[in-house]
A and B are shown apart, each in its own frame.
Chain A
Amino acid sequence: MTVSYPRLLPCGDSALVVEFGNSIEPELNRRVLAFDALLAQEQLRAIRETVPTYRSLLVHYDPTIIGYEELGAKLMDFATRKGLPSRKGRHWRVPVAYGGEFGIDLDAVAERAGLTSEEVIARHSGAQYRVYMLGFLPGFTYLGGLDPKLATPRRQEPRLEAPAGMIAIGGIQTGIQCIAAPSGWNILGRTPVRTYHPRRDPIFLIEPGDHVTFYPIAMREWGALDRAGEAGEWIAEMVDA
């Protein structure tokens, strides 16, 4: 079956999906974010909220103001426009305490890749990652650009509680999980950065389309940084890209 993109998909009576493709690629994600930025600029009264993901934009709207067909036609018109605006992303440097009790799967990931743990840390912190989306849990940051050598399938049995601040690998992706929750990802380390902090302004730091690099910190640095993070400091260094 061939599908032509972009396309519209209904998502109940109060939301629809504009889908731009079916894969995880920077160019596809850029189109989603550009489309999202255009909608933000247009300020359509019927749109309540948008949720950008890897390859689609979920649009929550008020069906008492506009129907699916009419809004869909309007959005398809926007989505096929040439020269959509592109948002200038920011670059974040995020400290990570790799290995030990914070990175319980580091050795297993290394063994599977035929590398030493130090080599895994060097490769993981040596790459620049694209923030494809935030989703599932508050502040969960899905990152693309993992060294293919480090790709590790998710665990057969998810852990019932992976810790807040977990830096982990799930398949070809890596990510930051901000709050404790079940996870099948392979845990390499932990960051004191709160990508979500309900008592800080701003509550969220990282936006879809930003870039992230990690740098290793020593275990002895953890305590002070973690306390600062809890107190509301960003810790992550933000550099305009």
Chain B
Amino acid sequence: MSFLVVDKVGPATSVQDRGRSGAQRYGLTSSGAMDVTSLAIANALVGRDVSAAAVEIGPLGAEFTAVGGNVRIALAGADRAATLDGRGAWLNETVLIPEGGKLAVGAARSGVFTYLGIEGGIAGKPVYGSLSVSARAGLGSPYPRPLQSGDRLEVGTAREEAFEHRFKPFSVEPGPIRVVLGPQDEAVTQEAMALFFGAEWRVSPRSDRMGYRLEGPKLTHADGFNIVSDGTVPGSIQVPGNGQPLALLADRGTTGGYPKIATIITADLSRFAQTQAGGRIRFASLPIAQAQKEARRFAAMLSQIGERIGVVRRIASRE
């Protein structure tokens, strides 16, 4: 075993996998990666299961040192500058950090979250099948909180390999974020619904892993804004009393008392979560049968990520 030691880190960087299952009935949210597509790429590059735990790096930068052995990592997701002992390193490629070597990752240039996958994985004690951190619940492993400088992640030691690996990125289709109407689409007026699909929305800086607040025209409720609390899912678009939608995400409350007029489709959640504060969003409605077709395509795409990985020559480090 080796260690990846956190030398420097901003807020909102934590260990995440695909999230917990089975505890939402007790009010414990699923958590998990905000961008499961990039999580899958980072993991596939280092030979891990696409759902395995990785370090989700928030919008600011971070620095790590390999201790006790060589550590092989891969970065995927929001674009940012990265260096290995001062020399350029790239996203979507495996990087061998030699023992004592230092990986520095800059702030996100576009997007929000970058995933650091680690060969051999991160050692931890799963709860409800997951290492994912929920800061509010004080849960997650190996640290039940976002990472801090000085933390030591016990990780796999890199194998000897002649080559490194590279992922050939997909082109991300631009266009509106697609949603399925409901469960409470009748809770706003028809005019409000037309506005929801007609307007351009701005992601508020007051957004986090719990949810993204959207700023734009005020949506008017048809008949009050309180419902008898019911369950939420990642991508639920809730409209509270102030008429400004809130898209609930990985660390959302499991139930809520405001109407949820639509739900972001699984295939578009990663792209939505990568929208920076101030970024503009439009929504489009998709019939459920179509959305489920997209969900099946998305699942197949995640399972075939390995097919887009090829070999490259190792980047030189500290020779």
* Interface residues of A, Cβ cutoff 8 Å to B: 9-15, 17, 19, 22-24, 48-56, 58, 60, 63-64, 67-69, 133-140, 142, 179, 181, 196, 198, 203-204, 208
Nearest chain B residue, comparing its CB with the CB of A136: B253
| Cross-interface CB contact of A12 among B144, B230, B236, cutoff 8 Å | B236
* Interface residues of B, Cβ cutoff 8 Å to A: 21-29, 127, 136-139, 144, 180-184, 228-233, 235-236, 253-256, 260, 263-266, 288-289, 291-292, 294-296, 299
A68 to B230, CA, bound (A): 19
Asked if B295 and A63 make an inter-chain contact with CB atoms under 8 angstroms apart, the answer reads: yes
A54 to B235, CA, bound (A): 22
**Given known A-B contacts A23-B228, A50-B25, A51-B25, A135 and B180 have beta carbons under 8 A apart:** no
Nearest chain B residue, comparing its CB with the CB of A3: B186
| Cross-interface CB contact of A196 among B26, B263, B265, B292, cutoff 8 Å | B26
Nearest chain B residue, comparing its CB with the CB of A36: B25
**Given known A-B contacts A67-B289, A68-B289, A49 and B24 have beta carbons under 8 A apart:** yes
Asked if B288 and A10 make an inter-chain contact with CB atoms under 8 angstroms apart, the answer reads: yes
Asked if B137 and A53 make an inter-chain contact with CB atoms under 8 angstroms apart, the answer reads: no
Give the distance to chain B from A8, nearest Cβ to Cβ, in Å.
9
| Cross-interface CB contact of A14 among B24, B183, B231, B266, cutoff 8 Å | B266
Asked if A136 and B255 make an inter-chain contact with CB atoms under 8 angstroms apart, the answer reads: yes
Give the distance to chain B from A223, nearest Cβ to Cβ, in Å.
21
Asked if A137 and B230 make an inter-chain contact with CB atoms under 8 angstroms apart, the answer reads: no
> Which residues from chain B contact A64 at a C-beta distance below 8 Å?
295-296, 299
Give the distance to chain B from A160, nearest Cβ to Cβ, in Å.
13
**Given known A-B contacts A17-B183, A137-B253, A11 and B295 have beta carbons under 8 A apart:** no
Top-4 shortest CB links A-B: A58-B231, A135-B255, A12-B263, A9-B183
Asked if A51 and B183 make an inter-chain contact with CB atoms under 8 angstroms apart, the answer reads: no
Asked if B233 and A15 make an inter-chain contact with CB atoms under 8 angstroms apart, the answer reads: yes
**Given known A-B contacts A63-B296, A135-B254, A10 and B138 have beta carbons under 8 A apart:** no
Asked if B254 and A10 make an inter-chain contact with CB atoms under 8 angstroms apart, the answer reads: no
> Which residues from chain B contact A140 at a C-beta distance below 8 Å?
27
> Which residues from chain A contact B21 at a C-beta distance below 8 Å?
48-49
**Given known A-B contacts A12-B236, A12-B291, A68-B288, A53 and B183 have beta carbons under 8 A apart:** no
**Given known A-B contacts A49-B22, A60-B233, A13 and B27 have beta carbons under 8 A apart:** no
| Cross-interface CB contact of A179 among B138, B256, B288, B294, cutoff 8 Å | B138
Asked if B25 and A52 make an inter-chain contact with CB atoms under 8 angstroms apart, the answer reads: yes
Give the distance to chain B from A185, nearest Cβ to Cβ, in Å.
12
Asked if A198 and B231 make an inter-chain contact with CB atoms under 8 angstroms apart, the answer reads: no
Give the distance to chain A from B269, nearest Cβ to Cβ, in Å.
9
Asked if A198 and B127 make an inter-chain contact with CB atoms under 8 angstroms apart, the answer reads: yes
A49 to B254, CA, bound (A): 12
| Cross-interface CB contact of A135 among B229, B233, B266, cutoff 8 Å | B229
> Which residues from chain B contact A136 at a C-beta distance below 8 Å?
27, 229, 253-256
> Which residues from chain A contact B23 at a C-beta distance below 8 Å?
138, 203-204
> Which residues from chain A contact B28 at a C-beta distance below 8 Å?
138-139, 196, 203-204
**Given known A-B contacts A49-B21, A179-B137, A139 and B27 have beta carbons under 8 A apart:** yes
| Cross-interface CB contact of A13 among B24, B137, B292, cutoff 8 Å | B292
Asked if B264 and A208 make an inter-chain contact with CB atoms under 8 angstroms apart, the answer reads: no
> Which residues from chain A contact B27 at a C-beta distance below 8 Å?
134-140, 196
**Given known A-B contacts A53-B229, A58-B233, A11 and B183 have beta carbons under 8 A apart:** yes
**Given known A-B contacts A53-B255, A140-B27, A203-B127, A13 and B266 have beta carbons under 8 A apart:** yes
| Cross-interface CB contact of B231 among A23, A51, A63, cutoff 8 Å | A51
> Which residues from chain A contact B292 at a C-beta distance below 8 Å?
13, 63, 67-68
Asked if A204 and B181 make an inter-chain contact with CB atoms under 8 angstroms apart, the answer reads: no
